[in-house]
């Protein structure tokens, strides 16, 4: 059986417990605490809510959670992705925000991932959050990755905007060193440096990589390369957005470097979505003609085995499309490519994966996104242990299809080393 320290996630085990232990973003922390302290003195500040925003894995949720512990606040934590309608806000958050605490403690309301509120119910949910801000007797902290989504305008007006930024490699490295010392695991400084650089500012992803590498007994360059093979599944939505909004060749290209699917599938996503972002006809015409060119190079590469054409294919599909625009793209939702739905093999894999993720999310009480980014790969890793594997399959009641899909991914976890 895996030992206790190996089976526990380090992002939980080494989670800072005091605000001063949260790395980086000093100004943002200060601003947040100043706002919270006005509340705690008994008078609501002008802005009754804060909207903390910034890239993933830098301590946004952490800051709010730790502040609740440190100030002994009763915390109501809601994940916006789980709000099915405005009912949850009205029935749970509203009473919580207006009634005295039974324990006579002060309260704090956290609504996380508010940028994931999408679909036809979004306007009513967002309106109910905005009403909640008007009526609340207690502080409300809202969190988002992308705070500039036009649908959030009402909330932006009512909230104190606090930006949290990516962490520097230096900050990440010293935190990783601290973890290695506590775990009593030997490390090469250069290996930590690679992990930190790969994480590009995301502490959560760095700690996860560190833990995977640690499975091999020490953190050296070799172990780190294996850790890099993890099924990252960089969110296809953010890759598409990157390409669509990119203004330079290199930033458009960089998006695909971090992408885990095959470029052919990526092209389908781009094809399906650019027309919603590029509003000028001439821009679209150029973008599509470049996609057609990309497709031509791809065919040359595959059919004639002229591999260097793959480079032109990638370049045209990313930078070519990105630089077709003459004005700033509009904001739009990204749609799943219709053609993919027709490709049954792909669909089956996608379906299996989303079934698994949604069941993990339910069992672990976390959002689908968290289950996908934090738990899924960890599950694959754990499945390498036979005893754990049979236990989890029994507990989850997964059928043979799912089991063989997972077994396959789990077995291949090392082989894909970069």
| Residues forming the site for ligand ATP (CB under 6 A) | 11, 14-16, 22-24, 56-62, 145, 167, 175, 203-204, 207
Minimum Å gap between C-beta 209 and ligand ATP is: 12
Partner whose footprint covers residue 45, from ligand ATP, Mg ion, none (CB < 5 to 8 Å by kind): none
State which residue, 22 or 159, has the beta carbon closest to ligand ATP. 22
**Rounded distance between C-alpha atoms, residue 399 and residue 59, angstroms:** 37
Partner whose footprint covers residue 298, from ligand ATP, Mg ion, none (CB < 5 to 8 Å by kind): none
**Rounded distance between C-alpha atoms, residue 247 and residue 206, angstroms:** 28
State which residue, 11 or 180, has the beta carbon closest to ligand ATP. 11
Minimum Å gap between C-beta 15 and ligand ATP is: 4
Query: What are the CA-CA distances from residue 277 to residues 77, 147, 167, 286, 337 (Å)?
Result: 34, 18, 30, 14, 15
State which residue, 81 or 337, has the beta carbon closest to Mg ion. 81
Minimum Å gap between C-beta 47 and Mg ion is: 21
Minimum Å gap between C-beta 79 and Mg ion is: 9
Q: Which residue is nearest to Mg ion (CB)?
A: 61
Give 137's DSSP letter: S
**Rounded distance between C-alpha atoms, residue 392 and residue 207, angstroms:** 24
Which tokens sit at 75? Answer: 């915390």
Q: Residues 63, 32: contact at Cβ < 8 Å?
A: yes
**Residue with tokens 């009403």, as numbered in its chain:** 131
State which residue, 202 or 271, has the beta carbon closest to ligand ATP. 202
Strands ordered across the beta sheet of 107-112:
74-79, 107-112, 140-144, 49-53, 159-163
Minimum Å gap between C-beta 196 and ligand ATP is: 13
**Residue with tokens 């630089």, as numbered in its chain:** 323
Minimum Å gap between C-beta 281 and ligand ATP is: 36
State which residue, 61 or 149, has the beta carbon closest to Mg ion. 61
* 169 near Mg ion, judged by CB under 5 A: no
- Per CB under 5 A, which of residues 19..78 are in contact with Mg ion? 61
Q: Residues 318, 267: contact at Cβ < 8 Å?
A: no
Given the rule CB under 5 A, which residues bind Mg ion? 61
């Amino acid at each position: 059986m895996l030992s206790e320290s190996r089976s526990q996630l380090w992002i939980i085990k080494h989670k800072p417990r005091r605000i001063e232990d949260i790395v980086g973003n000093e100004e943002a922390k200060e601003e947040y605490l100043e706002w919270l302290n006005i509340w705690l003195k008994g008078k609501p500040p002008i802005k009754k809510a804060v909207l903390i925003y910034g890239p993933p894995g830098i301590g946004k949720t952490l800051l709010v959670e730790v502040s609740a512990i440190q100030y002994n606040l009763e915390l109501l934590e809601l994940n916006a992705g789980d709000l099915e309608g405005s009912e949850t806000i009205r029935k749970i958050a509203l009473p919580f925000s207006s009634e005295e605490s039974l324990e006579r403690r002060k309260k704090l309301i956290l609504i996380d991932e508010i940028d994931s509120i999408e679909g036809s119910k979004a306007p009513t949910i967002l309106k109910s959050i905005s009403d909640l801000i008007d009526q609340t007797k207690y502080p409300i902290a809202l969190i988002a990755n992308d705070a500039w989504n036009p649908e959030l305008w009402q909330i932006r007006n009512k909230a104190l905007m606090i930006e949290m930024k990516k962490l520097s490699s230096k900050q990440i490295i010293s935190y990783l060193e601290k973890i290695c010392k506590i775990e009593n695991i030997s490390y090469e400084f250069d290996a930590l440096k690679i992990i930190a650089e790969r994480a590009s500012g995301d502490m959560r992803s760095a700690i996860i990589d560190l833990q995977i590498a640690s499975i091999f007994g020490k953190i050296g360059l070799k172990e780190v390369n294996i850790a890099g093979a993890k099924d990252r599944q960089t969110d296809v939505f953010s890759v598409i957005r990157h390409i669509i909004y990119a203004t330079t060749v290199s930033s458009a290209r960089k998006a695909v470097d971090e992408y885990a699917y095959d470029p052919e599938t990526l092209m389908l996503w781009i094809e399906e979505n650019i027309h919603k972002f590029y509003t000028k006809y001439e821009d679209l015409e150029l973008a599509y003609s470049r996609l057609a060119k990309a497709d031509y190079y791809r065919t040359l590469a595959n059919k004639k085995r002229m591999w260097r054409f793959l480079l032109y294919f990638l370049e045209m599909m990313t930078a070519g499309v990105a630089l077709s625009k003459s004005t700033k793209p509009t904001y739009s939702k990204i749609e799943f490519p219709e053609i993919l739905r027709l490709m049954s093999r792909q669909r089956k894999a996608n379906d299996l994966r989303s079934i698994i993720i949604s069941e993990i999310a339910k069992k672990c009480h976390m959002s689908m996104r968290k289950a996908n980014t934090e738990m899924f790969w960890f599950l694959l890793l754990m499945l390498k242990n036979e005893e754990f594997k049979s236990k989890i399959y029994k507990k989850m009641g997964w059928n043979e299809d799912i089991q063989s899909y997972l077994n396959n991914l789990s077995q291949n976890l090392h082989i894909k080393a970069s």
